[in-house]
A and B are shown apart, each in its own frame.
Chain A
Amino acid sequence: MTRKLAFDKFPLKSTAPLSVEYRRAVRIAVVGKGGAGKSVVAGTMARFFARGGERVLALDSDLMPGLALSLGADVPDEPPLNAAAERPEGQRWRLKKGVGAVRAVQRYSVRAPDGVRLLQVGKLGPEGLPPIVASVQAFYLVIHRLPRTEFFREWTIVGDLPAGPRQTAFDWAPYARTFVLIVEASWKSALTARRIARIVRARPGATVAFVANKVRTAADVERVEQLVGERVRASIPDDEAVRAADRAGAALIDHAPDSPAARAIVRLARDLSGAELLYS
């Protein structure tokens, strides 16, 4: 674990001497079918890493609400990232002058509990895409700069992608080394997982960690493995606490930190951080 620094005191460019041995930080994207439990897993892991002293950037590229609730973050009505991008006449979208990945996170992310920084696209409202399109474009540009931005080298990044294979195919998680693929014991969930896994494996350097969710019995885990045709890395029990937290609009880690599901997600986070470090 590294020391914890207040974000705003951290220099814009890393001034750490070259002799410092950098620890490779965890880079995860959580993917799967709709309703599989992606946001709960992503939100709980992000909070857990932050509590352990990591600097954590949580990324939400879903146009529907999700990760902010699971993190326990308050989100402004107007998507802050709208201010980060512009589209000059007849040209493509670009980040505004002076806005890079560091500035974008500094200015346009919101604070979530435990010091997590949440950067997210705007959410669809009654007027559809036009009011938030700048935030979507800015988000895509920023996340593509993250992997080569020195400042974030030691930051833990946890991304929550929308349902299905679409964003994985369109490269909406260029930062991710591990794709945490949430699967339930159902055909629709398993077929979705197979499709996403195929796409992830076409990316050099990316690995898939299958996670069985809403598990009631050991047979559910076997069923998932049978349907997907792969071994699962972890399983998360079906837990009333998850539904209760959702009804209360609260983060699982606040609402029921000792629930079986929260414990299982924390175990998974530990396992993934150990595994990612192993290959560094």
Chain B
Amino acid sequence: MKIAVGGKGGAGKTTVAGTVARALARSGRPVVALDADSNPMLGISLGLGPEQTDLLVAARQALDAGELEHQPTMEGIVETFGTDAPDGIRLVVCSRIDTVEPGCP
């Protein structure tokens, strides 16, 4: 099962996504939670806590910084860039914007 959650800002996307992920994980399914927001907050709704969520390193930043290697497979991406969250969920943060970026509108 692959689910994407969308909607207007402040509507509750992250809370729904995090809660659904936790519920599915508790029912025994292996769950990968993907935070595709450039302002990633899914960690908070999954129960990682705000401080840890704010420290999560996004895949793109890790690659840019040369800290981690590119991963050609989905398993590799989840393994290398993921973080363990409660109920056995693996959380992967795609990208986050926290500096002034030149170019591209």
Residues in B49-82 with C-beta less than 8 Å from chain A: 50, 53-54
Total contacts A to B, CB within 8 angstroms? Answer: 71
Identify A191's interface contact among B8, B50, B101, CB under 8 A.
B50
CA distance A211 to B53 in the complex (A): 24
Which residues of B70-105 are within 8 A (CB) of A? 97-101, 104-105
Q: Please name the residue on chain A nearest to B105 by beta carbon.
A: A140
User: Could you list some 16 contacts between A and B, CB below 8 A?
Assistant: A33-B10, A35-B10, A36-B9, A163-B9, A164-B9, A164-B39, A164-B97, A166-B38, A169-B99, A170-B104, A172-B105, A188-B14, A191-B53, A192-B39, A195-B97, A195-B98
For chain B, the count of residues having a C-beta within 8 Å of the partner chain is 20
Q: Which residue of B lies closest to A64 (CB)?
A: B8
How extensive is the interface on chain A, given as a class?
Answer: 20 to 34
A187 within 8 A of B: yes
Expressed in whole angstroms, the Cα–Cα distance for A33 and B41 within the complex equals: 11
Cα(A170)–Cα(B11), bound, Å:
25
From A1-9, A47-55, A103-111, A197-205, give the one contacting chain B. Answer: A197-205
Most buried by A among B11, B14, B97, B104: B97
Interface residues in chain A, defined as those with a beta carbon under 8 Å from any beta carbon in chain B: 33-36, 64, 136-137, 140, 162-166, 169-172, 187-188, 190-192, 194-195, 198-199, 202-203
Interface residues of B (CB under 8 A from A): 8-11, 14, 37-39, 41, 44, 50, 53-54, 97-101, 104-105
Whether A35 and B8, one on each chain, are in contact in the complex, defined by CB atoms closer than 8 angstroms, is yes
Residues of B within 8 A of A33 (CB): 9-10, 39
CB closest chain-A residue, reference B14? A188
Assembly CA distance A35 to B100 (angstroms):
23
Note all chain A residues with C-beta closer than 8 A to B9. Answer: 33-36, 64, 162-164
> Once bound together, how far apart are the Cα atoms of A171 and B44, in whole Å?
28
Known A-B contacts A163-B39, A164-B38, A169-B97; A188 and B105 likewise in contact (beta carbons under 8 Å): no
**Complex: A190 Cα to B41 Cα, angstroms:** 11
**With a CB–CB cut-off of 8 A, which chain A residues contact B41?**
188, 191-192
Give Cα A212 to B101, complex, Å: 27
- B10 contacts which chain A residues (CB < 8 A)? 33-36, 163
Which of A35, A36, A198 neighbours the largest number of chain B CB atoms within 10 Å of its CB?
A35
B38 to chain A, nearest CB (A): 5
